[in-house]
Amino acid sequence: MLETVQISIAEKNERYSVLAVIESANEEYASMSDPTFWQGYEKSTKWTVTTDENVIRIVAKDDSQSQQMIGAVLYVPASETGFIKCEFPRIRLLSVPPQHRNKGVANLLIDFCEKRARSEGHRTIALHTTALMTLARQMYERRGYVRYPEIDTELNSGMMLEGYRRDFAD
């Protein structure tokens, strides 16, 4: 567990740094994916991280002098419009590059998103993952997330985004 990690909302001028962290964390999945799917995924990710004004970019930085970005996640407010409709806020693109994994960074980012959802009056938060991301699914399930097929989404490439949700105890 890292003792010196700061979690905060990214500044607008950090969007490309957030994208670099996400790309670094997801690099390992490129070789396991259909190339056509992966090109579309990368294009969508870049647009969402650098341009989409509806998402909140949250970053983890080490608390050293360098303030190195060591993780990122997007918090997506509840929405009845857009590509994926969900009545709950969502966690999206949770990303920790391999050299920073198994130190608690992902859990700190998820904690931040869950606290934000609760502070906005939500009793549930949701997310999507894929069959490729077995370790991520195990982590979500350990945290109390359960399958939520109502928001499953099949992409044009045939890739299935599997919905999960966590209901907060009072």
Look up the CATH architecture of domain 5-167.
Answer: 3-Layer(aba) Sandwich (3.40)
106-130 pLDDT tens trace: 999 999 999 999 999 999 999 999 8
The sign of the CA dihedral 147, 80, 91, 157 is positive
- Tell me the Cα Rg of the chain: 15
Domain positions in the chain are: 5-167
Separation between Cα atoms, residue 165 and residue 9, nearest integer Å: 23
When mean pLDDT is compared across 12-16, 65-69, 144-148, the lowest value belongs to 65-69
Q: What is the pTM of this model?
A: 0.91
Q: What is the mean pLDDT of the chain?
A: 89
- Is residue 103 helix, strand or coil? coil
Q: Where are the beta strands (DSSP E) in 66-114?
A: 69-76, 90-95
Separation between Cα atoms, residue 159 and residue 114, nearest integer Å: 27
Residue identified by tokens 């859990």 is 107
75 beta partners = 56, 91
